[in-house]
Structure formats: C-alpha cells, structure tokens
Amino acid sequence: MRPDLVIFDCDGVLIDSEVLSADVLIELAGEHGLSLTRDHVWEHYLGRSFPTVAASVRETFGVDLVPTFEAEYRARLLTRFDSNLRITDGLLAMLAHLAVPSCVATSSSPERVRRSLAITGLTDRFPPPFTASEVPRGKPAPDLFLHAAARMGVDPARCLVIEDSLPGLAAAAAAGMPCLHYTGASHMGARAASVPGAPVLAHWRDFPLHYPDLFGTRPA
C-alpha cells in the first residue's frame, strides 16, 4: 500500500545530531560529577525526551540533576549546533523527489527542533514540526505519531515513519504505522542492526527501493 504521508523523526534522521547531543550531555554531566559514555547515552536515552532522560538518570545513578541542568544542556547544545550541525547524507536529493506530503515528529523540544531545522535550511521543507510536548506520553508510546497523523488529516495506517531509535520504532509499531529504520547518521556505525518489522534504510538513495511509488523519479 502506498503511504499518503511520510513522518520523519528529526534527530539522527533528518539531521546528523546525535553525536553532538551525546557529547554535550556527557561533558555537562561530567562537570556535575556524573560519568556517562556515548554507548550508555545511545542505549538508554536515544529518541527520548529530556524529562524521560532525567528520570532515567535518577533511577540508574541515584542522583538528581540540578535545577539548571536542562537549561544549561539546551543552551550549550544549540551553540554546538550553530557551528557543527549538518543534514544527513543524500537528504536533499531524496526530498526533492518525494511525491507525497511529509512532516516532522520529534522528541526534541519545540525550540530545539525549530533551531535545528533553521540551521540546516529545512524549515520551509515541512509544516511546523510536531513535538513530544504536545502529547501526554512520548516515545515509545504512539501518541506523538498519532497526533501528527491526525493533524495532517491522514489515517495512521497510511502513514510511513522513518526513525533511527528503538523507542521511535516501537512508537510507530504501537501506532499501527509501517516504518523504516534509518541507519545513515554518524552515531549508528557498527551499532546499526535490523529490527523486526522495520527494514533498514542505510542511505536516502535507497528509500525508493522500499517504496518506489513515493517518488516521481529516483534520487541520484
């Protein structure tokens, strides 16, 4: 069945941001006496909202983050984005040939996703993004994707989700939406693995191989 809407996650899908995000979190956590690694961040925090990350830190390490931690993290990350953020390889060529509507649904804060899209020149390529702040439960619950489908006026069963994180893929499955597991961002590398029910999409040039009817012509 040809989907009527493509729902893109943002971080690690449209933008190659997860290494930057992990490194800023690790640096700031270290300044507050907490030792984290990239592997821990990607295993436990990838695709989740900051309140969920904070709750996980409390549960795992038995410590609470200082009240200013979130604001410090967000400000430092956006500064890092200004100088280092890039889109994922082949994205623009794919979007130029995509022949159905698309939107963005992300666990990022509204300010972060707006800045991310602006920095990378993607703002005008999508409707205003949908964020986890608009729904009761973030990923892996289906709320965000169902919200995006409703706002876009499309039956969930006719939406296709592109995700990089396991919580995001679980959210798509819970929403009854087919999905592709995008593994083309720099944080994946050897970590990329197939997920049942979610075929791997290693590069945007391969998107038409999975859904040829979504493209007027195939991107180079």
Which residue ranges make up each domain of the chain? 5-16+86-214, 18-84
Higher-pLDDT residue of 64, 176: 176
Report the candidate in 32, 42, 28 with the shortest Cα–Cα distance to residue 80: 28
Average pLDDT (121-134) is 97
Confidence at 11, pLDDT banded by 50, 70, 90: very high
Report the candidate in 194, 133, 151 with the shortest Cα–Cα distance to residue 169: 194
pLDDT at 170 over 60: yes
Average pLDDT (199-206) is 94
Average pLDDT (109-117) is 93
Confidence at 6, pLDDT banded by 50, 70, 90: very high
CATH number, domain 5-16+86-214: 3.40.50.1000
pLDDT attached to residue 59: 87
pLDDT attached to residue 196: 63
Most confident region among 28-32, 45-49, 191-195 by mean pLDDT: 28-32
Q: How far apart are the first and last CA of the chain?
A: 24
Q: What is the pLDDT of residues 61-93, one digit of tens each?
A: 888 888 888 889 889 989 999 999 999 999 999
- DSSP 3-state assignment of 113? helix
- pTM to 2 decimals? 0.85
Question: Residue 160: what are its φ and ψ, rounded to 5°?
Answer: -115, 130
Share of the chain above pLDDT 90, in %: 61
Max CA distance (Å), the chain: 53
pLDDT at 58 over 50: yes
Q: CB under 8 Å, gap of 24 or more: what pairs does 176-185 form?
A: 176/142, 177/7, 177/145, 177/149, 178/3, 180/207, 180/210, 182/9, 182/12, 182/13, 182/88, 184/88, 184/89, 184/90, 185/12, 185/13, 185/16, 185/17, 185/18, 185/88
pLDDT attached to residue 69: 87
Whole-angstrom Cα distance, residue 104 to residue 147? 11
The domain 18-84 belongs to what CATH superfamily?
Putative phosphatase; domain 2 (1.10.150.240)
Whole-angstrom Cα distance, residue 107 to residue 125? 19
Average pLDDT, the chain: 90
Residue position matching structure tokens 């992990």: 22
Confidence at 190, pLDDT banded by 50, 70, 90: very low
pLDDT attached to residue 43: 80
Beta strands in the chain (DSSP E): 5-8, 102-106, 130-131, 159-163, 179-182, 200-201
Cis check: omega of the bond before 156, within 30 degrees of 0: no
102: β partners: 6
